Amino acid sequence: MAGYTVDTPRVGFFTDTSVCIGCKACEVACKEWNKVPADNQGYLGSSYDNSGELGSERWRHVAFIEQKLPVGVEDGAPDDLVAEAARQSLVEQGLDPKTDEDGFRWLMSSDVCKHCTEAGCLDACPTGSLFRTEFGTVVVQEDICNGCGYCVVSCPFGVLDQREEDGRVWKCTLCYDRLQGDMEPACAQACPTDSIQFGELDELRERAAERVELLHERGRGEARLYGEDPEDGVGGFGAFFLLLDEPETYRLPPDPVVPTRQAGTVWLSALAAAGTMAVGIAASFLGRRD
């Protein structure tokens, strides 16, 4: 498996969604720096998310989730449920101002390639176009990519996609060129709230652990880290997250596993089937000849 074995410190992102304000500066900075072509120009009807998803033309994507929480769920049941429900109805109709306790919540999160320790795309790539850089990141070499699309179905996060005009696959490089110039990636630099933090992965993990602990102390029990654990199904993300709800709410797989971990079963079964087929065909020649 193409795990991480380089000696230089591995870098990555810690995306702390609890301070994301949905400004999309990361999306814009990424597009500008990496000269990523324009894509969807319309309205998608999904809150402020009109860019849809990560893909060949979008290497950072900000998700917007509008949630209405059950009454008083954060602080236990209120004294008068009926009065509370009536007030919430007024709030919904815009007749009463919202307050923090109204049970409305707006989640925002900037998604990106996870630069997995065990990267499904890298393992699947038949040309060697996808490779592990000296920074521990996963990058596509466009002059070698043959557009076979195998990485597209091998990514548990649906990050990679084919660009229509040239048939090749494009994704976040974690600003490989900027890293080589000792600069931080464009999205991290543009982020006004430090929701996107760039740095050495070990340090980011420590920082994230402190952050989630702090949030728990402040009563935000729903805060959880996603992808920081090297024991998970992809050996830990190079770009991990602090989320305020289940991963699937943000369109993230709850427990992703790199397809390569099943390779043993996959090949054993293919060989067993091949053997069975050969035996079956030979058997059809047995018996009396007509």
Closer CB to another protein, 207 or 251, in the complex: 251
Shortest approach of another protein to residue 28 CB, angstroms?
A: 21
- Neighbour tally for 101: CB within 10 Å: 13
57 contributes a contact to another protein by CB under 8 A:
no
Contact between residue 4 and residue 123 where contact means Cβ atoms under 8 Å apart: no
227 with 13: CB under 8 angstroms?
no
Residues 258-277, interacting with another protein (CB under 8 A): 259-260, 262-263, 265-267, 269-277
Q: What share of the chain is helix, strand, coil (3-state, %, to 5)?
A: 35, 20, 50
Of 76-135, which residues contact another protein (CB under 8 A)?
105, 120, 123-129
User: Which of 154, 173, 195, 197 lies at the binding interface for another protein (CB under 8 A)?
Assistant: 154
In order, the DSSP letters of 234-280 are TS--SEEEEESS-GGGGT--SS---GGGGHHHHHHHHHHHHHHHHHH
Q: For another protein, which is the closer residue by CB, 102 or 184?
A: 102
Q: Which of residues 18-37 bind another protein (CB under 8 A)?
A: none
What part of residues 156-185 is at the interface with another protein (CB under 8 A)? 156-162, 167
Binding of another protein at residue 150 (CB under 8 A)?
A: yes
Q: Is 198 in the site for another protein (CB under 8 A)?
A: no
Strands (E) located in the chain: 11-16, 60-68, 104-112, 130-132, 138-140, 161-162, 169-170, 196-200, 224-226, 239-243
Distance CA 225, CA 167 (A): 35
* Minimum CB–partner distance for residue 170 and another protein (Å): 12
- Tell which one of 50, 148, 183, 199 touches another protein (CB under 8 A): 148
Q: Which is nearer to another protein, 180 or 263 (CB)?
A: 263
Q: What angle do CA 216, 217, 222 make, to 5 degrees?
A: 20
For 230, phi then psi, to 5°, come to: -65, -10
What is the amino acid identity at position 95? L
What's the min distance (Å) between Cβ of 39 and another protein?
15
Compute the distance between CA of residue 150 and CA of residue 142 in angstroms, rounded to an integer. 15
Cα gap 209→18, rounded to integer Å: 14
Interface of this chain with another protein, residues 209 to 238, rule: CB under 8 A: 212, 216, 221-229, 232
As measured in angstroms, the least distance from the Cβ of 281 to another protein is: 5
The interface region with another protein, picked from 34-42, 84-92, 132-140, 242-250 by CB under 8 A, is 242-250
Q: Please identify, using beta-carbon distances, which residue of 6 and 44 lies nearer to another protein.
A: 44
Choose between 113 and 179: whose C-beta lies nearer to another protein.
113
Per rule CB under 8 A, is residue 193 in the interface with another protein?
no
Nearest approach in angstroms of CB 75 to another protein is: 12
According to the binding rule CB under 8 A, does residue 252 interact with another protein? Answer: yes
2 binds another protein (CB under 8 A): yes
Q: Total residues at the site for another protein (CB under 8 A)?
A: 92
Number of neighbouring beta carbons within 10 Å of residue 151: 26
